[in-house]
Structure 1
């Protein structure tokens, strides 16, 4: 059942039906990838905007988690929460029946003294997981060499079980939903440049410092409607739109605790941090053409999350994100000064780039991003995606004209078609 029929508004269905009949009228694609607004773009925008408003009015009270796979599929998103309670959102989600089902959690961190930290677990079927690990100390420690998995640039590992966040020696534990998590690791990591393998352990506590931004309910409707109005509409398109939805939410906080590195030393970390959660019916890495995820914390405590996504099977020009102001006001992204193809369309990511983010209230944040380092790794059983973890410094002009510095981490994803090169046999595609 399409999103249009699922929402169930006679007038809107009539408008959508008319546009479906005119779907062959297309403005073409820039670089053979990015859809451009066609002659019926304004009508399509208005129709989908009405759909989102109706859905939000009918479903704003929150989901009941009744969909197969703990709220996966069409029950959540586009104005409707995946679960009514925070505890249900934060728990390990039962994977859907889809062979590429996904349940993911990620933590990053960065500090003024030069630490960068990233750790992610994507739970998959058959006790498999995709795990990210990037730790870069200040230049005075290991000359700033990145610590990563010994089996990198691969990310696929065995999980301990189906009911916890535990794979590759990395483990998460929810202490209090939306407020506190524990992040631990004990195992071997390898220096990227020096290639030396060292025993590493850490025991960190993540505590929330901002409200959660739930992309199911908190996004501004404008950018989503713009992205969908650009695309050719059909019954199959709306079916894919419903099935491919993933619940995703992000929250800034502080990551603190101790890290030990064999034969080097131990340190107390106190990092600005962002964590996210994603779960849905499935995630196929080869569905993506590109994306950029950007997370920054400024020295005045402003938190910025700003994303540009190209998913050719659905939306090729999606702008999402938000700003949390120092007084904890939550403002959703409404516009970007640059399109995705204007920022590092071919890899590797640019060393520096500029882009402006506009949020609700027509407030503009002018970002100047500089890469400190950019280790990369591959996701997908056959390495369908290459991800660069850009460790960054930022200079930001705020809406009031002040210029404030900060730090953060960005993820530049590129479609990879070269297959695996590490000699390991890929997991079957139906896993």
Structure 2
């Protein structure tokens, strides 16, 4: 009887030695958490943050190893490969809310900037963003902006509203052209319906976008430690927590330069040469904007 009691006491002592530090840690963390405020959009780490972080790191280990890029980028390779061509191909929009978009931006030290974006959707629906600001402060947009939706045949090309993206070399060079009408000035919310005072001008521009960096995959080429920290801070209410990493979408970024001419009207004296530095972004997947509107 005495031996049994001693064994029970030893067992309880071992449990207490393990449980007391854990309980103290939880209470200390909870008491400190009351005095901490959430910084913007960032969630406050819970008491089991480090355990969740370890689990996330273990779950991400195999995907990171499996999808690690094995080919060098265009900065090193001179000739495009078949993998490069496959990556640049137009995506097949099989689902109702699936989209495929490309955005090209550039700016210089003088104040010239340009932002172009084409988003392909099903049923030949295309969203086109075109915003150009010159060093004198003048701004040019499509006449229908902020309504960016147009109807065009987008199954075989990046085009819409007079704006065209044409691939020259996969992941290396693109040709960007526009020939059409733009509105001079920004449309404010109070006068969206007022089109009588719009200043519509004819504009042509031609640019060559040239890559200056390798491709940066937005799912695979960012810090695993940063991903672990972000996922471990989120609440895990069900087994779908790993899908949160898909919220940033699929695609890639690439730095480059835009070089070409901007022509206002038909006067050859209004030709302006531009050399802009910026980024090209490719995104594809589900249109999250449509989801939020439902």
* TM-score interval for Structure 1 and Structure 2 normalised by the shorter chain: 0.7 to 0.9
1:189 is paired with a residue of what secondary structure? Answer: strand
In 2, the alpha carbon distance for the partners of 1:181 and 1:38 equals: 47
Q: Distance in 1 between matches of 2:211 and 2:94?
A: 29
Query: Relative to 1, partners in 2 of residues 1:179 and 1:105: Cα closer, same or farther, differing over 3 Å?
Result: same
**8 Å Cα contact 1:244-1:283 kept in structure 2:** no
Contact 1:171 1:185 in 2 (8 A): yes
Q: Identify which of 76, 84, 87 aligns with 2:85.
A: 87
Is this contact kept in 2: 1:183–1:204, CA < 8 A? Answer: yes
Larger helix fraction of residues:
2
Is the counterpart of residue 232 in structure 1 residue 227 in structure 2? no
Tell me if 1:210 matches 2:213.
yes
- Distance, in Å, in 2 between the alignment partners of 1:100 and 1:239 is 22
Q: After superposition, what is the alpha-carbon deviation per residue over 1:244-279, rounded to whole angstroms, capped at 9, x for unaligned?
A: 562221111111111111277221111112111111
SS of residue paired to 1:35: coil
1:277 aligns with 2:285: no
Equivalent position to 1:196, from 188, 196, 199? 199
1:128 and 1:287 map into 2 onto residues whose CA distance is 17
Report the counterpart of residue 223 of structure 1 in structure 2: 226
Say which of 52, 57, 65 aligns to 1:57: 65
**C-alpha separation between the residues in 1 aligned to 2:128 and 2:218?**
23
* Aligned mates of 2:272, 2:123 — CA distance in 1: 37
| Greater fraction of residues in strand | 1
Question: In structure 2, do the counterparts of structure 1 residues 224 and 210 end up closer, same or farther at CA, with 3 Å as the change threshold?
Answer: same
- How far off its partner does 1:238 sit? 3.1
Asked which structure has the greater CA Rg, the reply is: 2
**Displacement of 1:60 after TM fit?**
2.7
Q: Does 1:162 align with 2:165?
A: no
Does structure 1 conserve the Cα–Cα contact (< 8 Å) formed by 2:231 and 2:244?
no
Q: In the alignment, which of 93, 103, 107 is matched to residue 110 of structure 1?
A: 107
In structure 1, stretches of 5+ residues that fail to align are 1-25, 63-83, 289-383, 385-428
Alignment check: 8 A CA contact 2:182 2:202 kept: yes
Runs of 5+ in structure 2 lacking a partner?
A: 1-29, 71-81, 187-196
Q: Which residue of 2 aligns with 1:376?
A: none
The change in CA–CA distance for 1:182 and 1:130 in structure 2 (over 3 A counts) is same
Q: Provide the secondary structure at the position in 2 that maps to 1:227.
A: helix
Normalized against structure 2, the TM-score is what?
0.73
